Structure 1
Amino acid sequence: MENKNRQKNSFDWRSLIAGTAGGVASTAVFHPLELIKIRWQVYEAASLKKLKFLDNPSKDKLGQLAPSYRPKYRGLFDTVLSVYKNENGIRGLYRGLGINTLASGSAWGLYFLVYNGLKARHDKKLTISNYTLDATIAGVSIILVTNPLFLIKTRMCLQYSEIDKDVGGKVVKYKNTLEALRTIVRNEGFLGLYTGFIPGLFGTLNGTIQMVSYDLMKSWWTNYFHEDLNTVHFSTFSGLSKIIAVVCTYPFQLVRARLQDQHQNYKNFFDVLAKTYRNERIYGFYKGLIPCLVRVTPAASLTFIVYENLLNFLKTL
């Protein structure tokens, strides 16, 4: 009995392995959509062309917002073609894959480790407040560790082959992930690795909403239908929970990406909010939402399918 209680109150290494595997698998498959999403999140030019309700929308204003060397995209499909044509074909679409795999794999693995560890400490049936608090603590803990990795991932995804290394004295292009790390620390200090941390904290609501929704769906299904869950359930519940989470928290993801964009100079979180709303209105906060949903819905399903099945297998060992 004592041994069982000790196991119940400890963090389970199997969650770490299964979560990491799920994150790596989904990243490897869907990375090109992540790159396209980030490109659109920071693409200031698109909104002003579409916002007919803005007072006197000006092409000059548009030019002042977007760096002159930033590629011009007419739509999502055009973005894919542009990256493929101008940035070394398929390699361009997988720019930043290595650091994204490391960031996403470690984030998912650590998240499941902490989240499941916290849930295991409850002696009674979990309530919505238990799920919410545990998921939030896990999310905040993980972003403290992984924010530098996701910052570098964003910087690598915003590499444009057409530009030189230095534009106006500011480094905007890196040879590889290690150089990006060294350059950020040298030019922006250690705290530069935590650029975008504040919207990232708000963005942890994404994980909270997703995990609470996912666990509640699983709990409801098993209690109502009295049957074991399978891959179809994992896929459906994780996809639905991710859609709910993204729609609720997407503006924070966009603000974080813009703060981390090496081609712009926003002062802080509130500067991004003010400029984005002034120049692009509410639409600006949801740019890239479609490729985001196209990416994260199947990616979440794949992550949880791998996670749940591998975790169940590891428990049999």
Structure 2
Amino acid sequence: MDIKRRNIQYSKPCPVYLLASFGCATTLLSEILCYPLEYIKVKLQMNGTQGCPKYKNIKSLFAETTSTRQYYRAMNAQMLKIIPYSTTRIFAYEFIRTAFTGDIVETTYRRKLSCASSAYAIALLTGNMGDILKIRMINNPELSLVQAIQQSYNKTGFAGFFRGYWLNVITITAIQAVEISLFEKFQRFFVKNFTQGNTSIGIDAISSLLTGISGGVLTAPLDGFKSRFMNQVIDQQTYWKTFISLIKDEGLFGLYKGTLPYCVKMSIGSTLTFVLYEQFKKQII
């Protein structure tokens, strides 16, 4: 391998378990702080569809909420997704990256995206079930986590826990494509124009914020479609039939329901994760 090739940087090795542990911790912190936005997003995405409650606007959703605790409905299902998922993806990413690039830490955009997509696809094998259960519990306030698991298994068997798996992979790959590309571009722009050539927490934060907003706007339709597809229990429609029903009943703009809370969550979550994770890596690498 040509070590003089551009866009390649070397660094001392870092124990993967440290990256995985801190990656999981930062993701958990982000999810706990931003989860009310996830709750609102799912409610708005499913607004008046598939037997879910209909809200005139976001104010009517707030008016229905009687306590702050309600905004953390199905948080246990989200933890069932995040804990194994966020840990597995880092182990998988580091294993795949090392297999392709050895000790090279930074490489080309295409290779980064390929490694990240493969790692997320592996991690979703552990996290897809939690995503399904979260969506169904938010839309059915009488359903507990155990009942949601039993309902899904009784209706669709074990395979039902992987419903929407490929749609989830496509959505997250699209998010990664945006984040990997734009974060570095925003970072280079601010370093070049507003600093003396050095990065800082402030630069990382504003780059992450803009990256999260951009990623949210571009991937909101995919996330909206995913929520509708995963919420189905009895009427197990295919991707295509679900899409046709959505367009027929709600129009193309129906895919953009819940875009505002989705974008806000993406921007805050991206900022927390990028800044904390980048600062951690700078200290140990």
Gaps of 5+ in 2: 1-9
Q: Deviations over 1:226-260 (max 9, x none)?
A: 64433222222222222222222222211111112
TM-score w.r.t. length of structure 2: 0.82
Give the Å deviation of 1:286: 0.8
Give the Å deviation of 1:213: 2.6
Would you say the 8 A contact 1:23–1:109 is kept in 2? no
1:19 aligns with 2:23: yes
Equivalent residues in 2 for 1:273-292, closer than 5 Å: 273-292=243-262
Would you say the 8 A contact 2:137–2:143 is kept in 1? yes
Change in CA separation of 1:124 and 1:39 when aligned onto 2, cut-off 3 Å: closer
Would you say the 8 A contact 1:209–1:241 is kept in 2? yes
Task: Tell me which residue corresponds to 1:231.
Answer: 201
SS at match of 1:181: helix
Equivalent residues in 2 for 1:3-18, closer than 5 Å: 8=13, 12-18=16-22
Give the Å deviation of 1:308: 2.5
Bigger Rg, which one: 1
* Alignment equivalent of 1:183, drawn from 151, 158, 162: 151
Letter in 2 for 1:128: Y
Q: Deviations over 1:193-246 (max 9, x none)?
A: 011223212212222322333245446666886644332222222222222222
Equivalent residues in 2 for 1:137-148, closer than 5 Å: 137-148=118-129
1:195 aligns with 2:195: no
Query: In 2, Cα distance between the equivalents of 1:91 and 1:141?
Result: 33
Give the Å deviation of 1:138: 2.0
Change in CA separation of 1:286 and 1:12 when aligned onto 2, cut-off 3 Å: same
Letter in 2 for 1:96: A
Give the Å deviation of 1:151: 1.0
Would you say the 8 A contact 1:131–1:212 is kept in 2? no
* Alignment equivalent of 1:211, drawn from 180, 185, 194: 180
Gaps of 5+ in 1: 46-64, 161-172
Give the Å deviation of 1:280: 1.7
Query: In 2, Cα distance between the equivalents of 1:18 and 1:219?
Result: 25
Query: In 1, Cα distance between the equivalents of 2:180 and 2:17?
Result: 19
Query: In 1, Cα distance between the equivalents of 2:220 and 2:72?
Result: 23
Would you say the 8 A contact 2:152–2:160 is kept in 1? yes
Query: In 1, Cα distance between the equivalents of 2:164 and 2:107?
Result: 33
Give the Å deviation of 1:124: 8.7
SS at match of 1:74: coil
The alignment yields a C-alpha RMSD, in angstroms, of 2.9
Would you say the 8 A contact 1:222–1:229 is kept in 2? yes
1:107 aligns with 2:89: no
Letter in 2 for 1:302: L
Q: Deviations over 1:146-192 (max 9, x none)?
A: 111111121222223xxxxxxxxxxxx422x2332233223320011
SS at match of 1:29: helix
Task: Tell me which residue corresponds to 1:81.
Answer: 63
Query: Which has the higher mean CA deviation after the structures are superposed, 266-275 or 179-188?
Result: 179-188
Would you say the 8 A contact 2:216–2:267 is kept in 1? no
* Alignment equivalent of 1:93, drawn from 71, 75, 81: 71
Change in CA separation of 1:124 and 1:258 when aligned onto 2, cut-off 3 Å: closer
SS at match of 2:180: helix
TM-score w.r.t. length of structure 1: 0.75
SS at match of 2:251: helix
SS at match of 2:256: coil
Query: In 2, Cα distance between the equivalents of 1:11 and 1:138?
Result: 17
Would you say the 8 A contact 2:212–2:268 is kept in 1? no
Query: In 1, Cα distance between the equivalents of 2:94 and 2:205?
Result: 19
Change in CA separation of 1:191 and 1:143 when aligned onto 2, cut-off 3 Å: same
% identical aligned pairs:
19
Query: In 2, Cα distance between the equivalents of 1:14 and 1:260?
Result: 33
Query: In 2, Cα distance between the equivalents of 1:159 and 1:73?
Result: 15
Give the Å deviation of 1:130: 1.8
